[in-house]
Amino acid sequence: MLLNKNVVFHFLLFFLSVGYFVIAINLGAPFANNGLQPSSFPLLIGLFAMMFSSILLYREVKLMKSKASSLEDDTQTDNALSGKGRFAPLAVMLSIFLYILLFSPLGYFFSSILFVLSIIIIFSSLEKVLQKIVISTIIVSFGYLVFEQMFGVRLPTLWG
């Protein structure tokens, strides 16, 4: 399972490189009037990226085939990684995404308290939530002092 994920990741990189190269081709001819045009550099980078990503993809596929026989061991490793640690990065990504969405409508204070609380819970547990709310409020107030009071950054507020 873990190895398949690696192949998928390397395939995505290859796909990204090919996509970039195709868009670069559509930017126009690379040479005109004895000079390089805007498409030339992206074409060159796209070529290198396709070369590197195809080597990496080939290596991963080869590795996957050679380890296919020891699939059971991989499944065990994957199971060991399961649980909180496995989903924690996804939970952090979701927290940041929601925080960004709520940052302007809810204002700095409310959105930040919810965000910091969610990060603290992801990095610990759901125990002693009240204590964690107090800690989150202190951290957010400290952030307010640093950004708005010390460095004069105007942060959004609920009341506009």
Partner 1 sequence: MEFINLVLGSFSLLLSPQILLYVVAGFLIGTIFASIPGLTATLALALLLPLTYSLDVSTALMACASIYMAGMCGGSITATTINIPGAPSSMMTALDGYPMQLQGKGPLALGHAAFGSMVGGALGAILLIVLAPFVAEVALLVKTTGKFSLLAFAIVVIVIAQRGKVVKAGMAACIGLMLATVGLDAMEPMTRFTFGSSELTAGLDLMPMIIGTFAISEILIQAKSNGCAEKMVEALKKVTISRRDFIPPLSEIRKIGVMCYLKSSLIGYAVGTLPGAGGSMGSFLAYAETVRTSDEPETFGKGNPKGIVASESANNAVCGGALVPMLTFGIPGDPVTAIMLGVLVINGIQPGPQLMVGQAELIAPMLASLLFSALILIPLTLYLLGPYFIKIVAIRKDVLYGIIALLAVVGSYVATFSTFQMMMSLIIGILAYYLRKHDFPVITLLLGFILGPNLEEFLRRSLSLSNGNPMTFFTNYDSLFFVILTLIFVYFLAIKKPLKKPF
- Single out the segment in contact with partner 1 by CB under 8 A; choices: 10-18, 61-69, 72-80: 10-18
Among 134, 155, 157, 158, binds partner 1 (CB under 8 A): 155
- Cα 144 to Cα 113: distance, rounded to the nearest angstrom: 11
**Per CB under 8 A, 137 contacts partner 1:** no
**Smallest gap, in angstroms, from Cβ of residue 111 to partner 1?**
10
Among 40, 64, 107, 109, binds partner 1 (CB under 8 A): 40
DSSP assignment string, 94-122: HHHHHHHHHHHHHHHHHHHHHHHHHHHHH
- Residue choice 1, 48, 65, 145 for contact with partner 1 (CB under 8 A): 48
Show contacts of 112-121: CB within 8 Å, 24+ apart. 112/140, 112/143, 113/137, 113/140, 116/140, 118/91, 119/92, 119/95
Asked if 37 is part of the footprint of partner 1 (rule: CB under 8 A), the reply reads: yes
Binding string to partner 1 for residues 84 to 113, with x set by CB under 8 A, is what? Answer: xxx-xx-xxx-xxx-xxx-xx---x---x-
151 binds partner 1 (CB under 8 A): yes
* C-alpha to C-alpha distance for 4 and 10, rounded to whole angstroms: 10
- CA neighbor of 159 nearest in space, from 112, 106, 113, 100: 106
Half-sphere exposure of 38 (CA within 13 A, CB side): 4
Residue tagged 């059971």 (tokens): 72
User: Which residues here bind partner 1, judged by CB under 8 A?
Assistant: 6, 9-10, 13, 16-17, 20, 23, 27, 31, 34-38, 40-42, 45-46, 48-49, 52-53, 55-56, 59, 84-86, 88-89, 91-93, 95-97, 99-101, 103-104, 108, 112, 115-117, 119-124, 132, 135-136, 139-140, 142-143, 146-147, 151-155
